[in-house]
């Protein structure tokens, strides 16, 4: 009864939040609910098949893809589809779908041990781990160690993990049951050290191993191979997604591996994955003042590499927007881990609260740019044609609000 | 000097960058291509262990030094040395960045065995070390559980682990003898550093934690360390020029146009924390 009352209150607050334009309404409902019933998440997760999705990049998209794939089961699936990924957002998502037997829950990296404890998940999905908002997150090796300990203590949980990321392989390695996926790793700068013994890892193509201890890349039944997925039977299928870029192909392969656990075959899942065209505003294309604007979210160096991967081909204009609010991280040092030189051939516009940091960064990479006051200022300058926007978290949310939240 | 002409021919960013020309250049085999220094006419910048000590934007310091030297007509060779390579002896400025515990300990172990950095410091090369790198060049620092780990002893400082992380904007006023403007940066560390008789504090903290005793960073001769992490030289071009001066002698002033964006960023950041900063010394 208390759980039902709590979720009722939370649902009302969520509607107020949406109506007043303050957000998706997916966090505030959970926050109020948790005040009424501290153990709400545990109560709400009981008797459900819970799938947690975590990692530095791709959480929201992978959560969406898994949810889409599980649609083949013909049952309601609860999910925090809008990226509200702390305890409150998870409770809110479950509270809104009391009948759903399945729950796909994106989980903030820092809360993984607590959420494993509260939800006793059937599956935990580990995507990747790299530097991100380091002013408020712990060092990533410490995060990996906490995951490792939590998974070791959850023998009934199946871990689906990206074997191409050594930190992920180490975090998952202590679990009783693991299905390894070769999902690729574009960003290597946080995985030169053996997480087990601290020695230098050696890499050979996609393989990696430590020569000091026995730690190395495990064999992978699921593989991303270029544009295709190879399943555990060795069968190859073209992914042919609507979502762009290598990172999303990687997310899709992970989603296929998760769906398989619940009896959804790749042949059943793939058509559903192909229908996903944008995720919580990411990759959304909107008309604005005569221009066609495409929104890309990039929150950290690895994410920027992925965003550059999916820029519209050619030499079209790009708007870069960077804020440094608490959700973004207050520290903009990471801008110097991104190589901007491939933007030299494009008109580049900068905006956001920390546009001055961007200006100095682009100057160092000899990328010409114009300082602007935001999307409408840029649209006014270029008047027509395509505009790609790459923004970090709160800058992205700001632009989404500006153009309307409809996907 | 004819800075503009130099710039057109060879951009500051043209020598080093995580991406280079191919998208695969993050791979170690691409990184390993850097040759040993060849001529004496160039300023040789040696970035020590970017694979281990580059947690958050440390490349910025290399890029800023490179740019400010090249704008003055000084040719630059940027050398990135990974932990499985020998540290070259002939560098002019050695750079070290931040790192997490395991990479920091591994870096200290490798550098102690290599000996190249210690030899360079002993013959008077400039060493500029940030955060974890700052601790590594000291006599000791705190390991994974806070246990003491031996440092290189290039700078007479000794670090341990404090009770809480110092995270946030930091402002510090530099030792007047160095004639460098107030430092503005970001710190994110749990270190406490004590300065021995062989070194002096780099600055006094006006906002933030620094060494933990009201001082920030340390220097002795041409060796300088700081807790201002990542791309500290971006906002503190005076500190960048101090390092260049130590390596090359007196420098020409830069055109205002070349200083414009860094000056605006610096003013903006100092302004953003003005209400929290204690009065300067």
Q: Closest Cα to residue B158, out of B194, B199, B127?
A: B194
Q: Domains of chain A: which residue ranges?
A: 1-38, 40-274, 285-403
CA distances from A113 to A130, A347, B145 (A): 18, 45, 21
Residue A19 in this model has a pLDDT that exceeds 90? no
- Helix H, strand E, coil C: the string for A137-155 is CCCHHHHHHHHHHHHHCCC
When the pLDDT of each residue in chain B is averaged and rounded to a whole number, the result is 86
What percentage of chain A exceeds 70 in pLDDT?
A: 89
Q: Domains of chain B: which residue ranges?
A: 3-276
Predicted confidence at residue A251, as pLDDT, reads 97
Q: Closest Cα to residue A295, out of A307, A313, A309?
A: A307
The whole-angstrom distance between A181's CA and the closest CA on chain B is 21
At A152, phi and psi to the nearest 5?
-60, -35
Q: Would you state the CATH architecture of domain A40-274?
A: 3-Layer(aba) Sandwich (3.40)
B189 is catalytic: no
Query: If you average pLDDT over residues A373-389, what whole number do you get?
Result: 97
A334–B106 CB contact, under 8 Å: no
Query: If you average pLDDT over residues A330-349, what whole number do you get?
Result: 95
The whole-angstrom distance between B7's CA and the closest CA on chain A is 10
CB atoms closer than 10 angstroms to residue A404: 11
Burial B55-70 (b: 16+ CB within 10 A, else e): bbbbbbbbbbbbbbbb
The whole-angstrom distance between A8's CA and the closest CA on chain B is 39
Residue A115 in this model has a pLDDT that exceeds 60? yes
- Class of the CATH-defined domain B3-276: alpha beta
Predicted confidence at residue A138, as pLDDT, reads 64
B59–A337 CB contact, under 8 Å: yes
Among B64, B83, B265, whose Cβ lies nearest the Cβ of A357? B265
For A357, name the nearest residue in chain B, comparing CA atoms only. Answer: B265
User: Which of A34-48, A148-162, A266-280, B173-187 shows the lowest per-residue confidence on average (mean pLDDT)?
Assistant: A34-48
Q: Give the Cα separation of B278 and B269 in Å (integer).
A: 15
Strands A318-321 and A385-391: parallel
Predicted confidence at residue B15, as pLDDT, reads 38
At A12, phi and psi to the nearest 5?
-65, -45
Per the DSSP assignment, residues forming a β-bridge with A291 are A288, A385
At B2-24, the pLDDT tens digits run 333 333 333 333 333 333 333 33
Angle at A363 between CA B54 and CA B185, to 5 degrees: 50
CB atoms closer than 10 angstroms to residue B156: 18
B179 is catalytic: no
A135–B188 CB contact, under 8 Å: yes
Best-predicted range by mean pLDDT (A125-134, A298-307, B30-39, B267-276): B267-276
Best-predicted range by mean pLDDT (A81-85, A202-206, B91-95): B91-95
**What is the value of pTM for the model shown?**
0.83
Predicted confidence at residue B279, as pLDDT, reads 57
Contact B95, B62 (CB under 8 A): yes
Contacts of A192 in chain B (CB under 8 A): 51-52, 83, 103
B55–A131 CB contact, under 8 Å: yes
Strands A49-54 and A123-126: parallel
- Helix H, strand E, coil C: the string for chain A is CHHHHHHHHHHHHHHHHHHCCCCCCCCHHHHHHHHHCCCHHHHHHCCCEEEEEECCCCHHHHHHHHHHHHHHHCCCEEECCCCCCCHHHHHHHHHHCCCCCEEEEECCHHHHHHHHHHHCCCEEEECCCCCCCCCCCCCHHHHHHHHHHHHHCCCCCEEEEECCCHHHHHHHCCCCEEEEEECCCCCCCCCCECCCCCCEEEEECCEEEECCCCCECCCCCEEEECCEEECCCCCEEECCCCCCCHHHHHHHHHHHHHHHHCCCCHHHHHHHHHCCCCECCECCEEEECCEEEEEEECCCHHHHHHHHHCCCCCCCCEEEECCCCHHHCCCCHHHHHCCCHHHCCCCEEEECCCHHHHHHHHHHCCCCCEECCCHHHHHHHHCCEEEEEEECHHHHHHHHHHHCCCC
Residue A193 in this model has a pLDDT that exceeds 90? no
Contact B125, B159 (CB under 8 A): no
Does A49 or B10 have the greater pLDDT score? A49
Predicted confidence at residue A3, as pLDDT, reads 52
Residue A7 in this model has a pLDDT that exceeds 70? no
- The packing angle between helices A59-70 and A266-274, to 10°, is 120
Contact B78, B90 (CB under 8 A): no
Query: If you average pLDDT over residues A245-259, what whole number do you get?
Result: 97
At A388-399, the pLDDT tens digits run 999 999 999 999
Query: If you average pLDDT over residues B46-74, what whole number do you get?
Result: 95
Predicted confidence at residue A186, as pLDDT, reads 80
Q: Closest Cα to residue A250, out of A227, A217, A284?
A: A227
For B63, name the nearest residue in chain A, comparing CA atoms only. Answer: A364
Does A348 or A404 have the greater pLDDT score? A348
Q: Closest Cα to residue B241, out of B119, B118, B72, B90?
A: B72
Question: Is this complex scored with an ipTM above 0.95?
Answer: no
Chain A interface disruption, residue of B15, B54, B57, most A CBs within 10 A: B57
User: Which of A146-155, A182-191, B31-40 shows the lowest per-residue confidence on average (mean pLDDT)?
Assistant: B31-40
Best-predicted range by mean pLDDT (A35-39, A285-289, B34-38, B239-243): B239-243
- Class of the CATH-defined domain A285-403: alpha beta
Is the CB of residue A47 less than 8 Å away from at least one CB of chain B? Answer: no
Between A and B, how many CB-CB pairs are < 8 A?
115
Query: If you average pLDDT over residues A363-390, what whole number do you get?
Result: 97
Predicted confidence at residue A27, as pLDDT, reads 56
Confidence bin at A13 (pLDDT 50/70/90): very low
For B11, name the nearest residue in chain A, comparing CA atoms only. Answer: A366
At B216, phi and psi to the nearest 5?
-140, 130
A331–B63 CB contact, under 8 Å: no
When the pLDDT of each residue in chain A is averaged and rounded to a whole number, the result is 89
Predicted confidence at residue B278, as pLDDT, reads 67
Among A193, A331, A361, whose Cβ lies nearest the Cβ of B188? A331
Contact A143, A110 (CB under 8 A): yes
Question: Both tokens of residue B216?
Answer: 């920030």
User: Which of A169-173, A199-203, A393-397 shows the lowest per-residue confidence on average (mean pLDDT)?
Assistant: A199-203
What percentage of chain A exceeds 90 in pLDDT?
A: 72
The whole-angstrom distance between A272's CA and the closest CA on chain B is 31
Predicted confidence at residue B146, as pLDDT, reads 86
Does A200 or A134 have the greater pLDDT score? A200
């Amino acid at each position: 009864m208390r759980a039902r009352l709590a979720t009722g209150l939370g649902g009302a607050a969520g509607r107020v939040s949406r109506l007043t334009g303050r957000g998706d309404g997916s966090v505030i409902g959970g926050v109020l609910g948790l005040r009424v019933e501290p153990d709400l998440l545990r109560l709400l997760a009981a008797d459900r098949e819970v799938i947690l999705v975590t990692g530095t990049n791709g959480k929201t998209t992978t959560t969406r893809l898994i949810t889409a794939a599980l649609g083949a089961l013909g049952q309601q699936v609860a999910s925090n589809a809008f990226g509200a990924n702390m305890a409150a957002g998870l409770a809110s998502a479950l509270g809104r779908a009391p009948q759903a037997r399945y729950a796909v829950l994106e989980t903030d990296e820092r809360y993984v041990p607590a959420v494993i404890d509260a939800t006793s998940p059937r599956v935990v999905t580990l995507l990747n781990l790299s530097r991100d908002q380091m002013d408020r997150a712990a060092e990533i090796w410490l995060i990996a160690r906490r995951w490792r300990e939590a998974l070791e203590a959850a023998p009934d949980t199946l871990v689906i993990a990206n074997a191409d990321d050594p930190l992920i392989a180490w975090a998952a390695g202590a679990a009783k049951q693991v299905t390894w996926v070769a999902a690729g790793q574009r960003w290597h700068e946080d995985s030169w050290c053996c997480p087990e013994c601290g020695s230098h890892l050696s890499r050979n193509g996609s393989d990696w191993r430590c020569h000091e201890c026995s730690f190395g890349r495990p064999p992978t039944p699921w593989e991303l191979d270029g544009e295709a997925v190879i399943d555990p039977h060795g069968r190859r299928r073209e992914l042919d997604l609507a979502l762009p870029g290598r990172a999303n192909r990687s997310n899709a392969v992970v989603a296929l591996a998760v769906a398989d656990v619940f009896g959804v075959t790749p042949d059943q899942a793939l058509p559903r994955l192909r229908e996903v065209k944008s995720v919580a505003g990411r990759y959304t294309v909107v008309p604005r003042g005569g221009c066609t604007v495409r929104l890309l979210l990039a929150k950290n160096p690895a994410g920027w590499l992925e965003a550059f991967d999916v820029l519209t081909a050619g030499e079209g204009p790009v708007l870069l927007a960077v804020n440094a609010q608490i959700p973004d991280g207050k520290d903009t040092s990471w801008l110097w881990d991104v190589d901007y030189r491939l933007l030299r051939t494009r008109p580049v516009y900068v905006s956001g609260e920390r546009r001055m940091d961007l200006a100095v960064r682009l100057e160092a990479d000899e990328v010409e740019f114009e300082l602007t006051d935001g999307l409408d200022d840029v649209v006014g300058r270029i008047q027509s044609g395509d505009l790609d926007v790459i923004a970090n978290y709160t800058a992205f949310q700001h632009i989404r609000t500006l153009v309307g939240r409809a996907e | 000097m004819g800075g503009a002409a130099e710039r057109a021919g060879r951009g500051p960013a043209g020598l080093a960058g995580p991406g280079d020309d191919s998208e695969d250049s993050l791979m170690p085999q691409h990184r390993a291509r850097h040759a040993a220094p060849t001529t004496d006419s160039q300023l040789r910048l040696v970035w020590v262990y970017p694979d281990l000590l580059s947690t958050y934007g440390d490349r910025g310091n290399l890029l800023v030094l490179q740019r400010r030297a090249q704008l003055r007509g000084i040719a630059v060779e940027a050398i990135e040395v990974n932990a499985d390579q020998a540290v070259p002896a002939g560098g002019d400025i050695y750079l070290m960045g931040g790192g997490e515990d395991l990479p920091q300990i591994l870096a200290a172990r490798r550098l102690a065995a290599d000996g190249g950095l210690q030899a360079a410091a002993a013959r008077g090369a400039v060493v500029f070390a940030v955060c974890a790198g700052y601790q590594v060049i000291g006599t000791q620092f705190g390991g994974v559980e806070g246990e003491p780990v031996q440092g290189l002893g290039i700078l007479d400082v000794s670090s341990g682990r404090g009770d809480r992380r110092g995270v946030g904007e930091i402002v510090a006023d530099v030792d007047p003898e160095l004639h460098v403007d107030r430092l503005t940066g970001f710190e994110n560390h749990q270190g406490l550093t004590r300065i021995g008789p062989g070194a002096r504090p780099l600055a006094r903290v006006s906002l933030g934690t620094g060494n933990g005793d009201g001082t920030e960073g340390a220097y002795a001769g041409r060796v300088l360390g700081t807790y201002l992490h990542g791309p500290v030289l971006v906002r503190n071009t005076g500190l960048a020029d101090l390092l260049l001066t130590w390596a090359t002698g007196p420098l020409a002033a830069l055109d205002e146009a070349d200083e414009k964006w860094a000056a605006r960023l610096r003013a903006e950041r100092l302004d953003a924390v003005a209400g929290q900063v204690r009065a300067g010394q």
